Amino acid sequence: MLDPKVKELINTQVNKEFYSAYLYLDFANYYEDQGLDGFANWYVIQAQEERDHAMLMRTYLFNNGEKVTLEAIDKPDKTYNNIDDPLKFGLEHEQYVTSLINNIYRAAQDVNDYRTMQCFDWFVKEQGEEEKNAEDLIKKFTLYGHDPKGLYALNQELLGRVYAAPSLVL
C-alpha cells in the first residue's frame, strides 16, 4: 500500500494527464482549422503520449493495490490569437506538469517510498524531454514560422512525427 499522500497525488496526476491530452487535442484542432496539418499531427501525438502517461500511472496504482478514482476532466479554456500561441501554452503547461511530477517524487522521497521514486524517475526524465521538445518547437517557429516557405517546411517536418509508445515497466 502506498502512503496516502503519495497515492492521492498520483491519482490526481492521472486526471491531470488526461487533461493534458484534452489540451493538446484542442491545440491540434486549432491547427487543423488553420490548415497546418503537421502542427496538428504533432499535438495529436502529444495527446497520445499524455493519455499513455495517465494509463501508466493508473497501472502503477493498481499494481500497488490502490483504487483509482477518475474525476471530471476540465475543458481547455485557451484562446489563440496567433499561430504560435499553442506552442507557448504548451511549454507553460509542460513546466506546470513538471512541477506536479516533482511534487509526487518529493512526497515519495519524504516517506522513503523507493518503488514510487524509481517509477517516477522515468516521468522526471520524460518531463525534461517534453520541456526541451516544446522549447525547440518555439525556437524553430521563431526562426522560420513567420516566413510562408519556412512555415510550410516546419509544418512538413512536424507532419513526419510518428507515435512511439512508452516502454516503462511497472
Q: For residue 141, what is the enclosing H or E element?
A: helix 114-144
- In this structure, are residues 138 and 87 in contact, taking their beta carbons and an 8 Å threshold? yes
For residue range 70-117, what is the model confidence (pLDDT) as tens digits? 999 999 999 999 999 999 999 999 999 999 999 999 999 999 999 999
**CB atoms < 10 A from the CB of 37, how many?**
16
DSSP calls for 79-127: --SSTTHHHHHHHHHHHHHHHHHHHHHHHHHHTT-HHHHHHHHHHHHHH
Average pLDDT of span 134-153: 95
| Distances 2 to 29, 145, 155 between C-alpha atoms, Å | 38, 47, 44
Of the candidates 48, 55, 61, 52, the residue with the CA atom closest to the CA atom of residue 11: 61
- In this structure, are residues 53 and 24 in contact, taking their beta carbons and an 8 Å threshold? no
Of the candidates 16, 15, 26, 110, the residue with the CA atom closest to the CA atom of residue 76: 26
Q: How high is the mean pLDDT of the chain?
A: 96
pTM: 0.93
Res 169: pLDDT? 65
